[in-house]
Structures are given as structure tokens and as C-alpha cells.
Structure 1
Amino acid sequence: MRKLLCSLTLILGSMSSLWSQIEGRVIGPDQEGLPLANVVLYQNREIIEGLSTDMDGRFSLSATAGAYKLHFTYVGMQPDSIDIRVPASGQLNLGTIELKSAASVFEEVEVVAQSKMMEFEQDKRVFNVAKDLTSVGSNASDILNNLPSVTVDVEGNVALRGSNNVRILINGKPSGLIGSDPASALRQLQGNTIEKIEVITNPSARYDAEGEAGIINIILKKQDQKGFNGSFDLSGGYPELYGAGATMNYRQNRLNFFTNISFNQRRSPGGGRSDQKFFLADTSYSFSRDRYQSRGGYDFNFRAGMDYYLSENQTLTGSFLYSPSRDQNYVDLEFVDRDINNAIVREVNRHDAETETEEVVEGNLSWQKTFGNNKDHKWTADFRYSLEDDRENSRIEQDTLGRPGTFLQQVANLEYQRSTLFQTDYIHPLGEKRSYELGARSTLREIENDYELSDRADDGTYIPDPEFDSRFLFTENVYAAYGIYNGAYQKKITYQLGLRAEITDLTTEVGYGDSVNRRNYANLFPSAFFTYSFSPLSDLQLSYSRRISRPGFRTLAPFFGFSDNRNFFSGNPNVNPEFTDSYEAGYVRYFEKGSLYSGLYYRHRTGVIERITLVEERDGQEFTRFFPINLAVQDAYGMEFNFQYNLAKWYEVNANLNLFYTQLVGSYEGTDFGADNASSSGRLVNRFKFWDSDLQVSFNMDGPSQNAQTRRLGIYTFDLAWTKDFMKGNATVTLAVRDLFNNRVRRYYTSGPIASGGYFDTFGTFQWRQRQITLNFSYRINQRKSRRPEGRGEMEGGDF
């Protein structure tokens, strides 16, 4: 036994002598220690060890003898790296390492390293898609529904903090990928092409003024590592889901080539039921509608580009996007009409088979120049041109029980869109924490829509219905310029003041010159941000911005929806833009293992665009018409909380809660459409690490809401995902279940006036698609997952 103990002692002693201690202290420009700074030790580009400094900025690592690189990062500071050589034994004391302050804490940094699921930056929150396990095999619509304060209803409409007036960008710019139907476009954009998503609730003058609730910016994947690297994905699931994708990059000397390719085929069954009652002066009656649908098809996305490094300070980037898709959609409707005694008077079956094909082509060219050794002094220019062609053809069959023959209709809808963007931005630092920015942008957009509904005559020919035969031309040109000044007062206060001017030139045309409506208006949009740093671990920010929500193509088009002959969707060419004044106050507190953000916000809207529901009569049959109008005023008050914490090495929790209250005042043709709405949304994500795998359990809440006419019940869902790495960390398999209990169903109640007198009530349920189960396999080449230290350092990128 004594010999055994001696042998063990000698072995352990010899092993410990192989390791050396690396010690040091990270300080800032004020010579104070930086708590919870990131310290990462590299050897041959592989991460050996990473940690966060203590509250005095000190750190200690262990490593065997050899050459290494130490990398230091901290919020608001410029990253730094040093080369070290660790001796065979003993201790290596590096003394103090001073990090320099970033030229401006307002600089918008793209965070490309793998980090937390959500990060705070100065005027936005960044959601890292890869960190949400349930995003595997999902599309952009699914991923957005996972974001804090963002909800996507069962029809695919996106809302931010309870408002649907949100601007969606791709790589910081409008894109043909989104087009005039964002709900459909987001379902076609696959998650494996998305790097991260930025949620900007109070945008500065740097951004477009469009979007009352703010901006959602989707950043697509792109790498610039030297040599070849890439990732490949395969997905399968139920209901029908097949997908494959690849992201590749090759950099050599002055050239960097990148590409994203994805193919997806899915089919989503869904349906619902509505019961509608009509109360007239002398009678009442009702009908019920059961809806069964199956929507799906394929979509393909190909994006390729090249960076050419003209010099150390100049880069030219060009990229090309091609995205075709084809969907086969089927809808079956069963109507049952009842009289005042609830007796059945008619039963109708209606079948709609639709084929939709779409092609998007887009080209981008960007140029960037930095000046001297200051990377923050730069000038950029961008050009984008896109074309979109969308064709929808439907064949509608209607049978009435007890009546011979089948009534047939055809719908043909052709939509063509062309858009051009020019943009330039210039940033000039004036010293530490001071700079000014100037920029200009022109966005030119034209959409032409031809819609034709035809009824089959007795001789078999199809005759166009003049009421639903129209051409609509929408032309919108927006010219903008902005200026921003970033400054600081003493050491704790930083601020940003901005002003943006936009001129809008809008023309709509119905038919071929039959009805032309031209509008031209100019507006100023100020913005202001003030940040007070109590310490390196806590900040308070106050902000203000003015926004505009211009009526889009579908809001102004006189008619754009027909598949159910008892429900019509139309636009209103007389709708004007609405304006919003937005105020926010937020406080963020960082801990050693997490963070807490709490904020208050207030929005005052004028000329509110609201879609209302009226019952009208056509050919002796009442039908429901949905169309937009400008109501008077809406005030929205809210508070938001975001909490992240690593309770243990094996357990991480992320929670978000948004509480808000809106008050809408307005009337239309003598009917009051005012409404008060108190609602909430939230998400709780629990992530467990065990047996070299991760398990994520998510709870999603979209509380009950009320608008001018409709009361919607709350929606509460669970998502589940499990993932495991293998093949030395180069491969990952993920099993995800969205809507675990299959209860993401919209339940609603609507009431309103009947044009001829009386009122109606509607009770309904609708489920866009059922629970989705997805299995995904991912393989990476020269892209192993990073092992990053926990704590505040993972939330780098700005004060907020």
C-alpha cells in the first residue's frame, strides 16, 4: 500500500509539473479593473480555455508549455490579443492588460461569435438563431415567433409589442425576399440561412422611419474565415417536411467567396370553424362554416457573393439571390345556413384548388472604405435591385345540396414588383465617444397587380365578373437623408441626437388611367438616446423617436382576396399614413452569470390604420367585408422584462415578459370603433446540459387581446428540442417538436354593424398548421462550435 501511495504521489506530481499558471489583470482607460471581461486562450486557432475576470479584473489560467494567443473582450472596449509563451513549469505573470475604449459606444457591431441566445446592444436586441434549439428545421416565421416581444399569429402576421406595424429588413435593407406579402415570404425563408435577428424597438435616425412598432432585421449567414469552411444540413419531419441546405465560404488572399443554398418542401394541414349570426330589425338567421386546408409546396433559395479586398482599407462586395417557389394549396369549405328557428335551409360545399408560383431575383453591390488605422472612420455605399414575379391561379367548385350541377369559377392573379435602392453612409469619429454620421437613401418601388374572377357560363366558357376584374398599379418612391451626433458628458453619460428627413412620392392607378391618385409629402423624424452608466455592470437609457407607417400595396389596393364568397378582403385607396411618437426608458444590470433588463415604453399614434369588418349585401346574400380605414388616436403603454441566468453549469434559463395596455379612439360612419386592450406576451426557455447533449423546453404565451371589433383568446404553447454533438464536435443531430400539445389555435369573437341595419356576431377558431416534429442533421467543416466563457462578456456589443 505504501508503495502504491508513493507511486501515485510521484505520478500526480509529475503531471502537475507539466502545467503552468498564467495570471494577469485586465484594466480600462481609467486604470480600473474590468470585471467579467472575456479572456480566451487559443493555440493553433483552437480554444484551449476561456473564463471571465473577477470583480477586480484579475484572471488565472492553466496551460502546458508552448506558444499561445490570449484574446480579451469587454463591452464598450476594443478587443485585444497578445502572443505569449508558457514556460515548462512555474508561473507566467502578464501584469496589466489595458483595453482601449471603443471610438463610439453607438457603433453598431455585428456579433458573429457564438454567444448567448439574446444579447443587448445600444439600440437593439440581437437574437442568435443557432442558440435556440427549436429553430432547427424551422422557417423565418417560426423563428420570429420565438423572439421576445414578437408574436406571429396563425395567419403569419408579425407583431412587435402587440402592434402589427413593424418593418422587416434583410441585412439591414428592404428586400425582394419579403415583397408585398411578408407572411408568405417569411414562411419560405429557411432558418438554416439565418445567422441572427435584430429587434429594434426604438430605431434611431440611421434607420428608415417606416414601422410604428420598430424594425426586425434578419441577418443572413456569411463567413470570411481564411481557407474553406462550411456547414451542411438535412431535415425531415411530420407533417410532411423535407429540407437540405448548405452555407459555404472560401477566402484566399484578396478574395472571399460565400454562398447559401437551401431547398425545402413541406405541407401544412390546418383548418377551423366559424359561426356567424345576423340580427335584423324583423328577423335573424345564421350560418356555420367548417374549413379544412392543406397548404404547401417547395421553395429554393440560392445566394452567392464575393468580397474583393481592394486594399487594406477598401472592400467591394457583390451578391446575387435567386429564389423560386411553387405551392399547391387546397381549401374545402362547408356552409350550413339556418333560419330564425335554427332549421337548416341550405348546405353548400366549396373547394378551392390554388397553384402559386413565385420567383425573386436580386442583386446587391456594396463598397466600404476605412480611413487610416481608425476602423470607425468609414464610408459605405450600397446598391440593390430586385424583381419579383408572383402568379396565382385558382379553380373553385361549389355544390349546393339538393340542387343539380356544379358552379365553377376561376381566379387569375398576376403580381409583378420591381424595386431599386441606393444608400450611402459616412461616420467620422471626433475623439473618444464622439462622432458624427451622415447618410442618404433612395428607395424606388413599383408593383403591378392584375386580378380577374371568371364565372363559367352554361356553354362552358368563362366570363369575367366586372366587379372583380381590376388592374392596380402602385408606385412609391422615398428619398431620405439623416444626420447623427454621438457625444459624451464626463465619463458616465453618453448621448446620441439624430434627425432624418424623408420625402414620399406615391401614385396609385386603378385600371388603365381610370382612377389615378397622387400624393407627395415630406416629414422630419427626430431621435434621441441618453445613457447613464452607474458602473460597468449597469446602465440606464432614455430614448425617443418619431415614426411613420405608410399604407402599403395591399392596404391601398381596392380588392385582393377571394376564395370564400362570403368573406372578402379589400384595400382602401383613400387611407393616409399614420404617425407615432415613441418613448422608452430601460435599465440593464449584468451579473456574473447573467443579466436583467427592465423597461417602460409609451407610444402615441395618430391617423391609426385599423382593419374593420362590415356586413354588406350582394346578389341577395350577406357577405363580410374586411377593409382598412384611418381611425383617430391610439395610446399604448407597456413594460418589458428580460432575464438570463446560468443557475448551474447544466442549467440556463431565459425569460421574457411584455405587459401592455392600448386605448383606441375613433369612429366610422357613425359607429364607434374605440377599444381598450390589456394584454401580454412572454417566453420562458429552460436549457439543460447532460450526457454531452442539450435539452431545451420552451413555454410561449400570447395573451388575450382586443381591437376595434375582435376579442381574441390567449394562446399558450410548449416547444421541445434535444441536440447532441458527435464526430469530434463537427456534427450535430437535433430533434425538435413545435407546439408540443397541438394547441396553437386562434379563438376569437367579432361583432359589428350590418350596412342595411342590425348587427352580427361571429365566433370562430382557426389553426394554420398542426404540431410539427423535425429531425435535423448538421455537419460542419472548419466550423466547430466555440466554447465561450459564461457571464457578461458573452453579451458584448454595446451598452444596451
Structure 2
Amino acid sequence: MTKFLLAFAILLATLQSPAFAQFPVGGAAAPKALPGTAGDQTPKGSAKISGSVADSTSSQPIEFVSIALYNKTTNQAVDGTVADEKGKFSLTKIMEGEYKILVSFIGYGEKTISNIKLTKGQELDLGTIKLSSTTKTLNEVTVTGQAALIEEKVDRLVYNAEKDITAKGGDATDILRKVPLLTVDLDGNVSLRGSQNIRVLINNKPSTIIANSVADALKQIPADQIKSVEVITSPSAKYDAEGSGGIINIITKKNSLQGLNLNVDAGVGNRGSMLSLNGGYRKGKAGFTIGGFGRGMYNTITKTSLEQTSTVENVSTVTRQTGDGSSRGLFGNYNLGFDYDIAKNQSLTAGVKYGVRNFSNQQDLMTRLSKTGSSDITTSRDVDARNLSGTVDVNLDYLHTFKPQQEWSVSTLYSRNDLTNDFDANILNGNSELTSRQRNLNKNLNQEFTFQSDYQTPIKKNQLLEFGAKGIFREVNSDYSFLVAEAVGDFRPETDQPAGELTYHQNIAAGYTSYTYTTKSRYTFKGGARYEHTFIDASTNEGSVGVGNYGVLVPSFNASKTFKGTTVKLAYNRRIQRPGLQQLNPNFNSANPQNITIGNPELRPELTNNFEVGLSKNIKKTFVNATFFGRVTNNAISQVRAPSDTLAGAIVTTYENIGKQHAYGTNIFANIAATSKINFGVFLNAFYTKLAGQTLGQDRKTIELTNTGFNVSGGVFSQATFKNGWGAQAFGFMQGNQVQLQGMQGGFGFYTVGVKKEFNNKKGSVGLAAENFLSKRFRMHTELNSIQFNQVSDIYMYNRGVRLTFTYKIGKMTMDAPKRKAKSVNNDDVKSDGSGGGQSGGGAPAGGGGTPR
């Protein structure tokens, strides 16, 4: 560790001291001068100079300070070293003569000691040299640090979530709501620039917990374990081609500490509680980590109302439905990790993660049907839906670094997810008497194995070449059945909805190459291409499904130019979007019989072309970013809704490759550092969208549909730090109405405030956060329509909440050298469920399983 800090300090000193610019440095020994310099030609003598360096205010020693010795006559550097951990230094074997010494360290003003005259064999002790801290400069750096709550890098936008004090006790959903460019609806469905066709990664790796349902998976990730969120709107060829909207990479907190540590995080609130234990032990070349997180959800109440009119064979049915529901859940995430430094330039990383999700939803539905020529029928339906899963991820990764930027990695990943998505329903008549029962059983097994190898190497000083290959082997099995029973007695299969099975094999072979070139005038160009070939073998109990194999070439190009504090970006990429299991699964999900969903196993992928122009600039204490984008998708996977032929008043939703989606818009945000301790920001997302698709008319013939409109959302955020460890933060967000192919989905709002107090020893903290506390509930109003039906629904969310959190750290740690860890598998290539909460209108959870990985 000492050697690392020593070398790192010398490297930093190189940036400050002109003396060290003349020769390479390393270690505590005096550096050798480059050939042709004075140090290379000067013979060694017998004189010696020693001394120590301390802070002028605290008188504490300053470790690893740079010491440079100059020949006073030639003004050339002839020797140098750095101070040790106690601030002491010495220069030996110096020829007699006249010299001067330059003492420098980042954060302190330089100091020069002149008129040093040495005689043969003399030992000169300079005593304690005191450096003054550059206070004003450090204050300016602090301002920049606050502004870095949101950072823009060459290919991504980064939200530093570890600064978010309101999210303690929450989950990843609470964090993603605050990230510019993203919108998260009340059910946790994430959109990037209005598109839900995105890939979500955890530490650059996929997980089957994400594959099944992004919204549910985010509830398993504790907010206070998230370090940052990266939004990649224009992925390079190195990334999987999946995700037409882009990639979201959630980076969790890691440590590179020596010793033993344990962090305890706990929180309790009126709608949820959590407990997290994370520990680690590291000594020498090996390190171990272990962690566990559990979160309980309760008191989550919803109320729904639905009114729709449908027409089948000239018979109109008016449906009026109200519902009272509640949900509860237990979520867990557990991990065990190991890393080992095989050699200075080789490392091995392994890990096992297990995630569990037990989510249940109870809903009491009251339905009244008014059919032409018939008397009204009133029924009640008590539904108990269960969404249970267990996920295992096992990885083994190897990294060999040959020299800076030249490296070769091999990564493997095995993932398995067992998912249960069932419901039981009791049917009651208008007198509240039990008349019949229904049961839908849907078991899913989703597993995959991935092997990939990547290599990158620099070409000269301003070019980088990357290439690699990847293979993904996936298998998805879904067994489903629909059972019915009388008020008493055993369940039996429903003859109109027979049991079935979906077997889906999806293997992907991919290769890519990418080239980056940077000019002296600060132009950066990055171009690449990726080819993916997908092999599909799918079947149901009725026989093979004719999906077929397909290949796709995915080009990408990114360019940027920085001048006078302004960065301009230009990007183009093509993306592929494969269907998810909830869109493929032919399970007939009728948890709400008025809003039925059924997948289509013959779906093919969709292709999207993305264009982007961005501008960012620092204006004094304000950072401003504006991005203008276009997105064109043909053969899009679209929801198709039509009245049921067999169930009166019911709307059936399925999926087809019939859509066209064009979107053009802008994302604007500004982050303002009002002072070194207070900053706030605003952001706006606005785009115009044009949707085209098909539906069925009165005569069951196909009818072309189009819909256009603007989608607008935005928000504000602010944070402040005060004396004695106090801090505060506030956030507010508003989502406008969202254009749908067959109507409009209502908007919603969200806001939260919080305070935190750190203990004096920095080992613990307490916090208090409140969300949506000014209103009892929030309504999301949705209207869907076509020639055959009109539907109006309202969902009322009771999400007023308050949380008290506590954090404490146990163990004494010392800082270790940061190391390059072996790279991990990064599968970001499958589409999640495209439906957001409330689009179906009934408020019942969708069924059918997860995404094929």
C-alpha cells in the first residue's frame, strides 16, 4: 500500500513540479534523469540533504511531498525524491556546489529554498519546512464537486446517487426517478426519452432478476447501496445490440479497503422497512465480500375505477368496475464475492448472488355489465395474485493487463431464475354469495450461460482499438394452466383454455470491433460495428413456432469536440429489440376478466435508428446540457387491444409486429452550484411522437391506426450541506400525459424531502425522509379507444410515506490501492414488458413470467 501511495504521490507531483517533467519517477529512490540532462551527466558526490515537511497551520506532517533539487547555475533538475509517511526526506550522493530546492504538493503552495551551498561530505539538515494550504483554490474545487451531482462524460450521463440523502431506506426506483432523461411511472416501469425498450445492467452485468421485470427487480436493490446511475443513450459497438432506447447501468458501492468491516443500514417507515448488512475482509492479494439486504413493503393501497363500452356482432356491452386493492412484498438480495491478484497484471474475480422476490396483490373487484337487450349483471371478484421468484447469478472473470489501455479479458456468467406468476379468484354474485372459483398457474424457468472475450490495445498515443466475441445460450420454459371449480369441490381444467407449455431456445453469436481517434485539437471520434446472429428454436404444446433465425449488423458512431468549456456531441446508432417473455408467453392471464393479456410466441425483433446532437457547457457555477434526438422504429412490437369474442365486456390485449414509432424531442437540464454547500437543478424532457399500428374493426378486418402528440415531463432538485454533519435535500417530478396508439395514459407527480445528521466520528448517521406528504392520494387517468371499444380508467395511488433511517459502520479499515478488476459479462440485449402500469385499465398485475435471457 505504501509503495502505491508513494508512486501515486510522485505522479501527482509531476503535474505540479516542472522539475519532475524532466525525468520519469517511481518509488522512493532518487529518479534517474533522462539521457542528455544534467542529472545524466553529473557525477555523484558525498554530500547529503535531509529535512521534513509539515502543515503550517496544524504542524502535522505532510506525507509524500515532492522534493526537487536544482543546479543553481544551470537551473536544471539534478535529483529528486518524495517524503515518507512522516513527512521526512533525504537526498544523498550530491556533488559539492550551489543548489536550490523546490517543495510542492497538491493542495499546498509551492516553496523554494535557495542559496544552498554544499561542500564535500557535508550533511545539511533543513529542519521542518512548512507549507501553507491553498484554501481559496480548495473552495473552488468544492464548488465543482457539488456541481458533479450530475456529470456528463464522453458517452454517458452519470447521476451520483451516493449524494442522495432522501433515498435511505428506499430502493432503486427512488433513485431512478431523479435521474435526468429517465421517467419512472407509479408502478416502477422505467422509460428513457419516452421509450421503455431499454436495458438495465447492474455493475455492467445483466441479471435474470432484471430480465423478468425491470419494475419488480428495482425494488430488490437498496437505494443506499447505489453509488451512481449511468445513462448511455448512444452505446458503442462493444455493448450488446439490444435496447432501442439505450442502456441504464446501476453502479453499486464497492470498497477497496484492507482489514475487516461491517456496515449496518436500517430503516422503518409507514409503507416499508429494510435491514442491510454488508461486510468485507481483505488482506494481501485476496479479498472477500458478503452482503445481505431485506426489504418489506406494506400498507400499499390502490383504488381503481373502470368504465368501458365494447361492441361485438352489433351487441354493445357497458362495463362499470370498481376495485379496492392492496399489495405487500418481501424482497431480498444476498451476495458472496471473491477476488484474487494472481500477479501484478492479472486478476481473478468470482461471485455468487441470490435474489428473492415474494410479491402478492389482493384486489376486490365489483363489476356491473349492461348488455343490449339483457338485464344488468353484477358480480364481485376477489383476486389473490402472486409473483414469486428466486434468482441465482454465478460469475467467474479473468483480466490480464499488458500495459496501460492494453488488456485482455475473459468473462463467464451463469444465471437461473425460477418464477411463479399465479392467481386465485373467488366469483361472487350480486348477493355476495360465492358461486365459482378460478385459478391460473404459470411456472417459468429462465436460464442462460454466457462466454465472452474482449481485447483492447492503444495505437500510438491517440488511438484505441477494441474487438471481441460473445456467445449467449438461453433456455426458457413456461408451463401454464387455467383451472375452474364450483363454490365447493376440486379444481378441473378449463376446456376453453387448455393447459400449455412454451419452450424457447435462443442462442446468440456476436462479434464487434470499435476504433477511437482523438486529435490534438480535442476532437474525438469513435466508430464501430457489431454483428449478431440469433438462432431460435421455439415450440408450444401445439407444435413448433415459426420464428426463424436472423442476423443483424449494428453500426455506431460518436463524435465530440470540446472548446472553451463547451462540448458538442454527435451520435448515430442502430439497435435491435428482441421480444420479452411476457410478450411471447401464450398464457391466458385473466386476473381481471375485463382486461385480459396473452402473449404471441411468433413475435420477431424490431430495429431502431437513433440520432442525437448534444451540447453542454459550464457557465460560471452552472452546468447546462441540451440534447436533441430522433428515434425511428419500424416493425415495432405493439399492443393490440380488441373486445373478447367469448367474455362479455372484456378487452383482450396481445402483441404484434405491426407498429411504427417515430419520436423527436429534447432533453434539457441545468445544475447550479449556488454556493460551495448548496446546489439545485432543473430538468425537462419533451418529445413529439407519432405512432402507427393496426386493430380489428366491426367485421374483424384489419384497420390502420395512427396517433400523435407531445409528451412532457420535468422536475427540480436541491441539496445542501451544513455544519456539524447536517444535510438536506428535496426533489419534485411531474410526468404529463403519455400518448398511446389507442389513446392516452395519464400523468402523475412525485416529490420527497429529507434531512440527515452524521455522527461526529463519521461512523454513523440518522435520517428522516418524507414523500408525497401533502396529498392523501394521486390519480392516474387513462383513456383508450378504437372503433370497437372505449375505455376510461382511473388508478388511485395512496403513496404518502415517511422513513426513519439509521446507518452504522463497524471495523477499522485502511485504504488499499485501487485495482483493475476482471471485467464481467454484460448481457444487455432483451426487451422487457412494454406495458406500463395502468395501460390495461383495470389495475390488476399482468401475468405471464419474465424475459427470455
Do the structures match in fold with TM over 0.5? Answer: yes
Q: 2:741 aligns with which of 705, 708, 721?
A: 708
Partner of 1:684: 716
Q: Which structure has the highest strand share of the two? A: 1
Alignment-derived partner of residue 658 in structure 1: 685
Which of 456, 462, 465 aligns to 2:494? It is 465
| Residue 449 of structure 2: aligned partner | 420
* Identity across the alignment (%): 26
The one-letter amino acid paired with 1:288 is R
> What's the CA shift string for 1:382-438, capped at 9, x where partnerless?
111011112244321010114854211122211111111112211101122211011
Q: Secondary structure at the match of 1:362?
A: strand
Counterpart of 1:167 in structure 2 is 199
1:579 is aligned, of 586, 592, 607, to: 607
How far apart, in 1, do the equivalents of 2:814 and 2:178 lie?
22
CA distance in 1, matches of 2:617, 2:720: 24
TM-score (normalised: structure 2): 0.77
Q: 1:712 and 1:404, CA in 2 relative to 1: closer, same or farther beyond 3 A?
A: closer
Alignment of structure 1 residues 348-427 onto 2, 5 Å: 348-371=379-402, 374-402=403-431, 405-427=434-456
The residue that corresponds to 2:214 in the other structure is 182
- Give the counterpart of 2:512 among 482, 491, 494: 482
CA distance in 2: counterparts of 1:62 and 1:600, whole angstroms: 51
Q: Give, in angstroms, the shift of residue 117 of structure 1.
A: 2.6
**What's the counterpart of residue 577 of structure 2?**
549
Q: Deviations over 1:685-715 (max 9, x none)?
A: 0223345422212110212221211212332
Q: Which amino acid aligns with 2:544?
A: S
* 2:347 matches 1:315: yes
CA deviations on 1:663-688 (whole Å, 9 max, x unpaired) are 12333453232111211222210223
Aligned in 2, Cα 1:82/1:672: closer, same or farther, shift over 3 Å? farther
**Residue type of the partner of 1:581?**
N
Shift of 1:471: 1.1
Cα separation, 2, equivalents of 1:574 and 1:95: 65
Amino acid aligned to 1:662: T
CA contact 1:584–1:599 (8 Å) conserved in 2: yes
Q: 1:355 to 1:201 in 2, by over 3 A?
A: same
Confirm or deny: 8 A CA contact 1:698 1:720 kept in the other structure: yes
Q: 1:382-781 to 2 correspondence within 5 Å?
A: 382-402=411-431, 405-457=434-486, 460-468=489-497, 469-511=499-541, 514-535=543-564, 537-618=565-646, 621-668=648-695, 669-690=701-722, 692=724, 693-742=726-775, 743-754=777-788, 760-767=789-796, 770-781=799-810
After superposition, the Cα gap between the structure-2 partners of 1:691 and 1:560, relative to the gap in structure 1 and judged at 3 Å, is farther
Whether contact under 8 Å (2:545, 2:601) holds in the other structure is: no
Structure 2 stretches of 5 or more lacking a match? 1-11, 22-54, 67-80, 89-100, 108-144, 696-700, 816-853
Q: Paired residue for 2:821?
A: none
Task: Tell me, in whole angstroms, the C-alpha distance in 2 between the residues paired with 1:480 and 1:652.
Answer: 44
How far did residue 95 of structure 1 move? Answer: 9.0
- Residue in structure 1 matched with residue 32 of structure 2 by the alignment: none
C-alpha separation in 2, matches of 1:177 and 1:63: 53
Residue 193 of structure 1 is matched in structure 2 by 225
2-side partners of 1:83 and 1:709: how far apart?
A: 71
Local SS of the residue matching 1:141 = helix
Alpha carbons of structure 1 residues 244 and 114: separation in structure 2 relative to 1, 3 Å? farther
Question: Quick check: 668-677 or 199-208, which moved more?
Answer: 668-677
Counterparts of 1:183 and 1:294 in 2: how far apart (Å)? 17
Give the whole-Å Cα distance in 2 for the aligned partners of 1:748 and 1:71: 65
Tell me the equivalent position of 2:29: none
Local SS of the residue matching 2:250: strand
- What's the counterpart of residue 110 of structure 1? none
- Is the partner of 1:135 in helix, strand or coil? coil
Query: 1:459 Cα deviation (Å)?
Result: 7.0
Letter of the 1:94 counterpart: S
- 744 and 143 in structure 1: CA distance in 2 versus 1, 3 angstrom threshold: farther
Note the C-alpha offset of 1:631. Answer: 2.6
CA contact (8 A) 1:63 1:86 kept: no
Displacement of 1:211 in angstroms is 0.6
Distance in 2 between the 1:62 and 1:521 partners? 70
Q: Distance in 2 between matches of 1:525 and 1:487?
A: 20
SS in 2 for 1:664: strand
Deviations 1:323-348 (A, max 9, x none): 2333333111111234679x982221
Query: In structure 1, what is the equivalent of residue 254 of structure 2?
Result: 222
CA contact (8 A) 1:438 1:484 kept: yes
Whichever residue aligns with residue 67 of structure 1, its letter is P
Aligned partner of 2:98 in structure 1 is none
Give distance in 2, aligned partners of 1:386 and 1:701: 37
* Pairing 1:278–2:310 present: yes
Tell me, in whole angstroms, the C-alpha distance in 2 between the residues paired with 1:190 and 1:744.
Answer: 25
Question: Whole-Å Cα distance in 2 between the matches of residues 402 and 459 of structure 1?
Answer: 18
Residue type of the partner of 2:226?
I
Matched residue type, 2:59: A
The amino acid that maps onto 1:576 is: R
Cα distance per residue 1:521-542 (max 9 Å; x no partner): 111111111111213x221111
Partner of 2:59: 65
Q: Evaluate the alpha carbon distance shift between residue 25 and residue 504 of structure 1 in structure 2; reply closer, same or farther with a 3 A threshold.
A: closer
Q: Which residue of 322, 326, 344 maps to 1:290? A: 322
Question: After superposition, where does 1:115-130 map in structure 2 within 5 Å?
Answer: 116-130=148-162
The 2-side partners of 1:440 and 1:270 are apart by 47
Which one-letter code corresponds to 2:621 in the other structure? K
When residues 482 and 703 of structure 1 are mapped into structure 2, their CA distance, relative to the original with a 3 A threshold, is same
Sort the Cα spacing of 1:71 and 1:365 in 2 relative to 1 into closer, same or farther, 3 A. farther
Superposed displacement of residue 207, structure 1: 0.6
Q: CA deviation at 1:149?
A: 1.6
SS of the residue 1:450 aligns to = strand
**Aligned counterparts of 1:313 and 1:524: Cα–Cα separation in 2:** 35
Q: Following the alignment from structure 1 to structure 2, what is the Cα–Cα distance between the partners of residues 133 and 553? A: 36
RMSD across aligned positions (CA):
3.2
Deviations 1:224-258 (A, max 9, x none): 2222334210011112x221002222211001111
Paired position in structure 1 for 2:180: 148
- AA aligned opposite 2:781: R
Q: Which amino acid aligns with 1:369?
A: H
CA distance, structure 1, for counterparts of residue 796 and residue 375 of structure 2: 27
Per mean C-alpha deviation after superposition, the further-off stretch among 313-322 and 487-496 is 487-496
Give the TM-score taking structure 1 as reference length: 0.81
Structure 1 unaligned spans of 5+: 1-22, 33-60, 73-80, 98-112, 755-759, 787-800
2:121 match: none
Of residues 172-181 and 204-213 in structure 1, the stretch that sits farther from structure 2 once superposed is 172-181
Q: Aligned equivalents of 2:238 and 2:634: distance in 1?
A: 23
Q: Do the aligned partners of residues 539 and 201 (structure 1) sit closer, same or farther apart at CA in structure 2, a change above 3 Å counting?
A: same
Q: Post-superposition shift, 1:551?
A: 1.3
Confirm or deny: 8 A CA contact 2:321 2:367 kept in the other structure: yes
Shift, 1:349, TM fit = 1.1
Find the structure with the greater CA-based Rg: 2
Corresponding residue for 2:235? 203
The amino acid across from 2:449 in the alignment is T
Kindly tell me: are residues 458 and 274 of structure 1, through their superposed partners in 2, closer, same or farther at Cα, counting changes over 3 Å? Answer: closer
Q: Per the alignment, do residues 640 and 328 of structure 1 end up closer, same or farther by CA in structure 2, a change over 3 Å counting?
A: closer
